[in-house]
Each structure stands twice: as C-alpha cells, then as structure tokens.
Structure 1
C-alpha cells in the first residue's frame, strides 16, 4: 500500500477544473461512516500529537461532535489553551499527514460493505465521484486507499476539504456554487445540515449507524439502509436529485 504525495491542498476558492464541467453531476461523498468505518476521535488525537511533535506542547482535548472539520479542531484546541492559532499551519498539517501514514500502515481502515461497488457504479454511469469531508486531501486519500478503495475513481480537484474550512456548511455552500449539480451522500445529521444549509440535495445512508428518523429530519431525497447490491438504485437516485 502506497500513500499519495503530501503536497498542500489548493485554496478553497479554486476555479472550475477542466475535468468537471459545471453541468456534470458531482457526487460529494462523506468518508467516515459512509465509505469506511469510522474511528471516533481519531482526527483530534492526531492533531494533538502533531502539536506535541512540532511545538512541544500538550493540549487538552475538548469535546467534538461528529463532523468537525480539521480547521475547526485547530481553532478549538488553541482557543481552549489560551493560545493564538498559528498563522501558518503548514508544518502542523505536514506532521499530521506523516502520523497518518504510520497509523494506517498499522491500522488500516475497513471499507463499508458495498462502498467499492457503489463508487465504481457512479463512475461507470458517467457521474463524478468526489468528497466533502472534514479532513485534508492527503488524509482523505489515505483513509480510502488504506481501506482498499480505488482512489483513482475520484476527481480530487472537485473535492472540498475541512483543512481549509472551519464551518462545514460554508464549505458546502462553496461546493454548491462551484458544482450546481452536486449531490451529497452521507450518514450523519452533519451531512444533512450541510445539505439544508447549502441547498445541495442529499442521500442518507444508514451505514454509520445513525437513526433513520434523525437523518430524515433533514429531508434527504433518498434513504438507503446500506449500499450492498444497491448500485442501480443509488445511481437512479443521484440522477433524480440533479
């Protein structure tokens, strides 16, 4: 298993890229709980380890709900410690990416059943696989690759990453402005809140174990208990949504 180059991500206000025209449907997958099994608290623990490694400081971990973006966690960690957030987070971000390389080699993620087939079906249907996630680009790719999913089926230049965004809804709004025919696929109320707040239709899945009634409060256009054997239905739901 080889992991991608850990180059820094492009700015959040990237222009349209040539591979994803504005009129092409883009599927913005959530990663944790939707495509791979989630390890709760992992991201903030990695950020605390990076701070210890780079700055030599041990910070107390505040509580975070599911769906916190990397940028949000940085702010909360330093704020709770009464420290200013560094102007340049690049060194800390690079440390996180290094830590994740070692971590995933020892403890690879596990794909959600049906995820690989769902991603392949979306690509085969001529739709764009991409992501809307709280992590940065390198960690997002490593999560999927460590779980054995084909990262080449994703358009990474069409994706949105929480490394640049403290507010997940604002990130989704930017994604909608760039991809007017986008659909979110996710498993949590945070995915639903992104959809409602941005105007992006979303498809809810029960793969993360969150109660259906909680997710349906955010008016998903479709519900799937799981993704196993549901490729045709999923593609049809995506096409109907856009």
Structure 2
C-alpha cells in the first residue's frame, strides 16, 4: 500500500484568522479562564489540538482536568464550519491533486492536528470531497500533544506501507522525520517556499496547482 497523509489547515484548506477563537471560547466556557490582558500572539501553526488546548490551559491558569470537556466543546463549536459565517476555503488545486494521486496508485489519508470531527466539518464546509480520503487510515491530533507521537501512531499502523506526509509547516516535516516518513511541502500556509526548503522536504511547491507535476514526480521516485 502507498498512502499520502495530508495535513488539513494550510495544506488542504487555507488558514483562517478566526480559527483561534474556537479554542478561546471552548476554554472560557468549560474551564472559566481567559488569556491575560496583552498576552502576545502565540505561533500555533503545525501544533495539534491537544497541544494547543494543553498549552493555553497551562498559560491561562486553567485546570488540565478540563481537557476532555474542552476538546468535546471544540467539536461542538466547530459545527460552525458548515455555515457561511465560518466556512473555510479550499486551497487551489485540491480536487485535482487528490484525483491525480489516486490515479497514480496512492491512497489519500489524513494526518492532522484536528480531531476527526473537526477535520470532517472543515473539509465538508469548504466543499472538499470527504469521500476522497481513507478515514480508516487517517490520524488525528486531539489526543496527541506532540505531533511526532501522532506520526508514531501512523507508522505503527502502516508498518508495511509506503507512507508520505504532505503538509505546510516545518512541524509537519519534523514529525515526518521522527518516524522516517518522506515529507512533501506546500507553501499555502504560514511558511514560504524558502522557509520550507530549510526542512527535509523532498519537494517544496508554491501550491498544489503549480506544484502537482513536481509532487507526482517525487511520489514516482519513492
């Protein structure tokens, strides 16, 4: 089996400035804590939901015993991604890339910091065909504080497969490196082509539309 494990935010979908509000609201509603006045913006690109919730609860003086309830409330709030007010936008070239990979004999799976529910509603809201992915061979970060633990879980289940990570952050690359998965990078998130070239990525492309031939060539060589 050959499988491409796609990241969601910044890779399949364009990032949203509103995304952090769901963490804020869920933690406030469940744990009763909020960030202190003037707290600087934390860089959270490439982090899992579990890491973001844990770090925010810790910084804001919340009780980590609320973690499960905060995570569940995040799923509930994320149903808003199905509405026009919070709907996400698919990155350019997504449908074509998914079809091309499948035609080349690769399974499309997910490896994302989102929960399964949050990934699904984000993709559905953006009009991405969720049926294009093998959800039984997809991996979700709502229970993994470290992204490398998420890729470790994928490696254990895909021991006999050729698996590749496709993402938009250095964190995706580091997590791939931790388990020996090849990394492919697309600069549709917060990091530039130049920044992503400083990672271990076998191929770095500006977007899925322009970069599809390069990505397919790299996959053929694996």
TM-score of the pair, normalised by structure 2 = 0.86
* Equivalent residue for 2:59, pick from 56, 61, 80: 80
Aligned partners of 1:130 and 1:158 also within 8 Å: yes
Tell which deviates more after alignment, 142-151 or 97-106: 97-106
| Alignment CA distance shift 1:108-1:87 (3 Å) | closer
Shift of 1:233: 4.3
Aligned partners of 2:46 and 2:171 also within 8 Å: yes
Report the counterpart of residue 201 of structure 1 in structure 2.
182
Number of equivalent positions: 215
Shift of 1:133: 0.9
Q: Within 2, Cα distance between the matches of 1:133 and 1:72?
A: 12
- Once the two structures are superposed, the pairs formed by residues 82-101 of structure 1 within 5 Å of their partners are 82-86=61-65, 89=68, 91-101=69-79
Report the counterpart of residue 126 of structure 2 in structure 1.
147
Shift of 1:122: 1.6
C-alpha RMSD of matched pairs (Å): 2.2
Shift of 1:231: 4.2
Matching of residue 240 in structure 1 with residue 218 in structure 2:
no
Shift of 1:51: 2.7
TM-score of the pair, normalised by structure 1 = 0.80
| Alignment CA distance shift 1:37-1:184 (3 Å) | same
Report the counterpart of residue 52 of structure 1 in structure 2.
28
Deviations 1:195-230 (A, max 9, x none): 222211011112225222321222211222221165
For structure 1, which runs of at least 5 residues remain unmatched after alignment? 1-23
Matching of residue 183 in structure 1 with residue 161 in structure 2:
no
Deviations 1:105-147 (A, max 9, x none): 0221111110111012222333111111111001111111111
Q: Within 2, Cα distance between the matches of 1:209 and 1:97?
A: 24
| Alignment CA distance shift 1:175-1:149 (3 Å) | same
Report the counterpart of residue 29 of structure 1 in structure 2.
6
For structure 2, which runs of at least 5 residues remain unmatched after alignment? none
Shift of 1:188: 1.4
